[in-house]
Structure 1
């Protein structure tokens, strides 16, 4: 059912309800006015009742001749009807018996604790109320028709305006959604509105920007992967084509070179797959309590030779010998390894890399383990710092790819930390060095899992 139809039905029901309430309230008001007149002059009403009851008892409990009797208090009333067994045996006034019984005030007569009849009366005030009531009921159908006509016209105009204000922005939003489906970068939506339609439009616009960003990231990833694959494949293809043209076998040096390119391709494929699983939330954790200090000591031993080749001094400080955290060991080792290798590569010969592990209060007094890896290398320019965790991004643009890694190390490190409910902070200044701060929850939740 369309919004306009719903509005028409709702307005019709509302109008009918209002008119019904008006009729009922008016009807009840007439009876309230009639009864109020009784309470206002109750003594006169009761005196009239007493006269009729006295007449009945003084005539041997009979109403015979009552129609000819003159009662003193009848002068205060415009209409009077004494009804016995449904028949009016005493009348004063001009109204029909049925009208008086319906609109008059009833007084029940008693004698010797028995009901002997009922009189219906109207004084001047009650009679005027009755006249107004009769007039109102007489003109009410006409008022109802005119009111319905004007109300319906007003309702239709109101409904048209409301439906226009509702359907126009909805139409624009639907058109905008169709444009989003077609992946249009610029979508026309009523974002300037201050109502709910504006909120929906702004949410849709943000979603479209996000989708465009993800689409751009997807295209960039394909481009970067293709570029990374292209270089080793061209090297391998060139060496093999040259050997084929010269009809010579490959030397051991050439075979070793080709093997290096194959290993680089294999590493690239594994890194891309690993990062894709992490970003998609498909990496399911199997955490266990591990001593992060022992893990770091083992890792330093493994990469010590790389630091010695560049005469870089590795120093470590641990606030405690045992700091246990709930982690999946190989993922944390992978993250720390990538960051340490990055620090060694970007530190000049004779430099130093400092490592520190301690417990700190972070994030609203929640205890975390902080792992600090600080170097005095070439640093990262301010314009590059926000992008260092992007896939295939390199702050050192002069560094050639054959001499470097896959360009995914920091992105994988960040995702591995994130799935452990931790995070990484980076501080750097070009020419002075870089500091990576890794935070892990000291006490991990029992239901820790990968983020969606």
Structure 2
């Protein structure tokens, strides 16, 4: 159902409700005015009642011949009906007994504790109020129809104008969504509004910006992957074409070179798939209790040959011999390995790298954490690059030739692995002085599964 139709129906119901409400108010007001007239002339009403009760007692507890009797205070009333057992014994005025029973003011007649009859009366003021009510009720159908017709016409015009104004931002929002569906990111929404439509427009614009960013990221990823694949593929293609054209068999060195490029391609494809699974949450962890200190000692041993080749001094310090953490060993080692090898890549020959692990209590966390610091004396990272180093294929050293390094996915994979373990990583760096990568892992107070 359209908004315009809903508004018309709602307004029609409101009009009917208002008419019924006015009718009820008039009806109630009549009875209030009637009772208020009684309070103003209460003595006269009470005197009339006592006069009828006195007549009943003087005639041997009977209403015999009451219809022809004369009462002193009856002259103050326009309408009087005496009713007992549903019968009218005395009547004065123009109204019928039923009309007076319905709208007259009732005075109960009692003899000791016994009800002997009821008086239904109207004084002059009450009778005028009754006439006004009767006249109003008589005119109400015509007035109601005329008012309803006039109100409906005015309401319909108001509704059409109002609905057009209310639906205007909706039409703009729908138009903007249609533009987005066609692939055009330059959609315009009524964001300047201060109402709910403005809030919806801002939310849609933010969603559109997020989709545009995601699309740009996807395109950038495709471009980066293509760029990373291009160099090794060109090398392999060039070597094979040269061997084919010259008819000369590939030497052992050429075969080794091609093998290295194939390994590079394989590693790149593996890293892209691994990062995609991690970001999509498709990797299920199987954590076990591990000694973090032993894992780091094993890791530094495996990377010893890399630092020896560059004559880098690698040292490790642990605050305790055993720090228990609940992790999936292969994944946490992959994350720490990527962080450590990144430090090795960017540390010049003769530099040093220190790995420190300790237990810390963070102010905003209930459980203790293991803090792993990887400090290097490398080239450092600029402030501009710091916010991007965990992005795919991002390299802080843009001048460094790609074949000399990894795939550009190491830190991105490390960060996703840490996030999967409810952990996080921080980095601090000073250009020309080195960098510090800090990892926080939750500690098991007792051996955990």
Query: Structures share a fold, TM > 0.5?
Result: yes
Find the counterpart in structure 1 of residue 82 from structure 2: 82
Contact persistence 1:82–1:90 (CA under 8 A): yes
Contact 1:326 1:444 in 2 (8 A): no
Paired residues, number? 448
Q: Could you tell me how far 1:87 is from its partner in structure 2? A: 5.2
Distance 1:425 1:127, change over 3 A: same
Match of 1:232 in 2: 232
Post-superposition offset of 1:301? 0.7
Aligned twin of 1:356: 356
3-state DSSP of counterpart to 1:402: helix
Quote the offset at 1:377 in angstroms: 0.9
Q: 5+ unaligned residues in a row in structure 2: which ranges?
A: none
What CA distance in whole angstroms lies between the structure 1 residues aligned with 2:425 and 2:285?
A: 19
Superposition map of 1:158-237 within 5 A: 158-237=158-237
TM-score normalised by structure 2 residue count = 0.93
Shift of 1:248: 1.9
Distance 1:258 1:23, change over 3 A: same
- Is 2:326–2:448's contact at 8 Å kept on the other side of the alignment? no
Within 2, Cα distance between the matches of 1:419 and 1:362? 20
How far residue 110 of structure 1 moved from its aligned partner, in angstroms, is: 4.1
Quote the offset at 1:189 in angstroms.
Answer: 0.9
User: Helix, strand or coil: the match of 1:107?
Assistant: strand
- Which residue is equivalent to 1:338? 338
SS in 2 for 1:148: helix
Task: Indicate conservation of the 8 Å contact 1:424/1:438, yes or no.
Answer: yes
Structure 1 stretch 262-271 or stretch 357-366: which is displaced more? 357-366
Distance 1:64 1:244 in 2: 142
RMSD: 2.3
Whether 1:406 and 2:387 are equivalent positions in the alignment is no
- Tell me if the contact between 2:81 and 2:120 (Cα under 8 Å) persists in the aligned partners: yes
| Mapping 1:1-400, distance limit 5 Å | 1-83=1-83, 88-111=88-111, 115-362=115-362, 364-366=364-366, 367-400=368-401
Superposed displacement of residue 325, structure 1: 1.2
Shift of 1:197: 1.3
- Are 2:180 and 2:208, in contact at CA under 8 Å, matched by a contact in 1? yes
Contact 1:77/1:123 (<8 A) preserved: yes
Q: Using a 3 Å threshold, how does the CA distance of structure 1 residues 443 and 77 change in structure 2: closer, same or farther? A: farther
SS at match of 2:371: strand
Tell me, yes or no, if the aligned pair for 1:190 and 1:197 is still in contact at 8 Å.
yes
CA contact (8 A) 2:378 2:433 kept: yes
Q: Deviations over 1:307-335 (max 9, x none)?
A: 11211111222121111111111111111
Alpha-carbon offset, residue 161 of structure 1: 3.4
In the TM superposition, what is the alpha-carbon distance from 1:364 to its structure 2 partner? 1.0
Give me the whole-angstrom Cα distance separating, in 1, the residues matched to 2:112 and 2:318.
110
Between 15-24 and 267-276, the greater mean CA deviation after superposition: 15-24
Preserved CA contact (<8 Å) 1:183 1:212: no
Deviation at 1:19, TM superposition (A): 1.6
The change in CA–CA distance for 1:184 and 1:404 in structure 2 (over 3 A counts) is same
Q: Secondary structure at the match of 1:389?
A: coil
Checking the alignment, whether the CA contact within 8 Å between 1:275 and 1:411 is kept in structure 2 is yes
- Structure 1 alignment gaps of length 5 or more: none
- Partner Cα separation in structure 2 for residue 101 and residue 377 of structure 1: 107
Structure 1 residues 349 and 423 mapped into 2: Cα distance closer, same or farther (>3 Å)?
same
Distance of aligned partners of 1:64 and 1:199 in 2 relative to their CA distance in 1, 3 Å threshold: same
Separation in structure 2 between the aligned mates of residue 274 and residue 304 of structure 1, nearest angstrom: 26
What residue number does 2:429 align with?
Answer: 428
Q: CA deviation at 1:206?
A: 1.0
CA distance in 2: counterparts of 1:182 and 1:419, whole angstroms: 36
CA-to-aligned-CA distance 1:216-269 (integer Å, 9 cap, x gap): 111111111112112111111111111112212211111111111111111111
Distance 1:237 1:42 in 2: 118
What does the per-residue CA deviation read over 1:311-367, in whole Å, with 9 as the maximum and x for residues that have no partner? 111122212111111111111111111111111111111111111111223361443
CA offsets per residue over residues 59-112 of structure 1, 9 Å max, x none? Answer: 344444333322122132222223456554433333344433332112343457
What is the Cα deviation at residue 40 of structure 1? 4.2
Q: Which moved more, 1:343-352 or 1:158-167?
A: 158-167
Q: Taking structure 1 as reference, are residues 307 and 85 closer, same or farther at Cα in structure 2, changes over 3 Å only? A: closer
Matches of 1:92 and 1:37, distance apart in 2: 19
Q: How has the CA–CA distance of structure 1 residues 445 and 335 changed in structure 2, closer, same or farther, with 3 Å as cutoff?
A: farther
What is the SS of the residue equivalent to 2:90?
Answer: strand
Distance 1:113 1:411, change over 3 A: closer
Q: TM-score, with normalisation over the residues of structure 1?
A: 0.93
Return 80-89 or 186-195, whichever deviates more. 80-89
* CA–CA distance in structure 2, aligned partners of residues 333 and 350 of structure 1: 26
Distance of 2:168 and 2:262 partners within structure 1: 60
Give the distance between the partners of 2:210 and 2:448, measured in 1 at CA.
30
C-alpha distance in 1 between matches for 2:107 and 2:212 = 85
**Cα separation, partners in 2 of 1:446 and 1:420, compared to 1, 3 Å:** farther
